Amino acid sequence: MFRLMLLAAILVSTSCNELNPPKPQPRRIVWKPLETWSGHGNQQTGNFDMSIFRWRVHWKTAGDTAPGKSHFAVTVNSAVSGRDLSELVNHDGPGEGYAEVNDDPRLYYLVITSNDLDWTVTVEEPIETGGRPQ
């Protein structure tokens, strides 16, 4: 009789686990910095290789030395052909933001134009976390 009750308890326990499987964790994106440049004035960055289709630029400007006249712009260029692919940022005065790039994997460089602002620009790649439990 004891064995029969033990067997019944094990079966109930097992069937409850099958009815309530562990829930998958939500997937989320974490952005990993790859390259960072900072300065004051204009600059062309060195080449960087992006082997993925989606990445972004995090930019920040500060130290406005000519209020009302300061400007900041960033374009992304192909390091293979040298052509301008897209204007990522076009901003007056101090600020901060993100600009996402969706393009073919290749070598790139950035052209930064800054009037009267200190700036920092970081290229970031997405890392996916979470998902199904293992």
| Average confidence (pLDDT) over 11-40 | 77
Q: Establish if 33 belongs to a structural domain.
A: yes
Whether 62 shows a pLDDT value over 90: the answer reads yes
Percent of the chain's residues with pLDDT above 70: 80
- Note the pLDDT of residue 68: 87
123 assigned to some structural domain:
yes
Q: Does residue 4 lie in a domain region?
A: no
Q: Decide if 89 is inside a domain.
A: yes
Query: Is the residue at 17 inside a domain?
Result: no
Kindly report the CATH number assigned to the domain that includes residue 98.
Answer: 2.60.120.380
In a domain, 13, yes or no: no
Query: Which residues constitute the domain of residue 99?
Result: 25-131
pTM of the model: 0.77
Answer whether residue 125 is part of any domain. yes
Number of domains in the chain: 1
What is the reported pLDDT for 9?
57
Query: How much is the average pLDDT of 125-134?
Result: 74
Determine the pLDDT at residue 124: 98
SS (H, E, C) the chain: CHHHHHHHHHHHHHHHHHHCCCCCEEEEEEEEEEEEEEEECCEECCCEEECCCEEEEEEEEECCCCCCCCEEEEEEEECCCCCEEEEEEEEECCEEEEEEEECCCEEEEEEEEEECCEEEEEEEEEEEEEECCC
Q: What is the mean pLDDT of residues 81-98?
A: 96
Domain membership flag for residue 9: no
